[in-house]
Chains A and B, each alone.
Chain A
C-alpha cells in the first residue's frame, strides 16, 4: 500500500515536470494558467514570436522545486498567451528536485526519459523511451524506483499508467534500515515487482 502511494506520488511528479513546469509550484500559480511559475533557459530560441516556440541547446526548465534539462523544448501557448495547449520535450531528458505529495510528504526525485509531452486537450502527460525514475522519501529514506517504456498520466483523473511493451514494468522499493528492539532481526527491507501495465 505504501509502495503504491509512493508510486502515485512519483507519477504526479513525472507528469508535472513533463508539462514544462511543476505541480510543486501550485502555491504560486500564474493567473488562469495550468502551471505555476517557471523559467526556460536555452542557448537558442526560435519560432513565431507569439508561439509556438522552440528552445534548443542546453534547455533548462526550472520551477520552484524541480528542474528539467533536455535538448529541445517546443511549447504551444494558447491564443491569448496565458496558458499552454501543448508542450514537447525531446532528447536527454533529466529531472531532479523535490516534490511534496498531497499528504505533505517530501520526496527527492530524479528521472530520465527520451521524450516528454503534455497535451491540454487530451489532459495527459506522457513520458516515452527508457523511462527511469527514482524517489527518496525525505523523512523515512524509503526509496522507490521504476523502469518503463512509457508513462501516461491523466491530469483530470490523476490516474497513471506504466507501459513496457511486451515486458513487465519493473518497480523496486527499498525501506531503509530502522532501529530495531534488541534481539529482533534488523536490516533493510526491499521489494521488487515486475508487473504488467
Chain B
C-alpha cells in the first residue's frame, strides 16, 4: 500500500484550518464584559457603555447607575456594579446621589441594593451607611445598616463628580 506523503498531510491540515477559520486572519477575542453589557433595551431600561438607566414609564422618577465594571447575571440582569455611582430623581424633587463599593440592580423588581461604604448625598445633607436596599418605583428605603446623617456641614456640601449629570436617558 502506497503511503500518503507527509507533505500532503500538512497541506491538507493547512487547508482545513483555512476552511475552519476563514481567510480573514486570526479572530478577535470577545470584548471585556464591562464594555459590552447586554444591549437589549427591554421595557424602560437602556444600557450603553457602563451606564444603566431606569425610568418610570410615567416619568415620575429616573435612576442612573454608572460603573467601570458591570456584570449581568442574565440577558435582562440583575446587574452587579463595582464600584457604583448613581443618582435618583423623583418628579419635582432635587436629585439625590448615591455611591457604594458595589451595587446590585434588579430592573424587574426595580430595586437596587448598595453595599459597602454607601454614601447618599444632597446639597444640604449627606448620609453614610453600611447597606441600602432601595425600591426605585416607590422611592423608599427598604432596609439599611447603621446610618449617620450629617446636615449642614462641609461634608454635606460635597457631592459626587458631576459627570453623572451630563447624560439624560
Contacts and interface: CB of A to CB of B under 8 A. Distances in A.
Contacts of B124: 30-31, 33, 77, 81-82
Contacts of B150: 37, 39
Contacts, number: 87
A45 B96 contact: no
Interface residues of A, number: 29
B159 interface: no
Contacts of A76: none
Given A33-B124, A37-B153, A82-B123, A49 B96 contact: yes
A196 interface: no
A30 B152 contact: yes
Interface stretch (B66-74, B101-109, B138-146): B138-146
Interface string A29-48: 11101011111111111111
Contacts of A55: 147, 149
A44 B152 contact: no
Interface of A: 21, 28-31, 33, 35-50, 53, 55, 77, 79-82
11 contacts: A31-B124, A31-B152, A33-B152, A37-B150, A39-B148, A39-B150, A40-B149, A42-B146, A45-B129, A46-B143, A77-B125
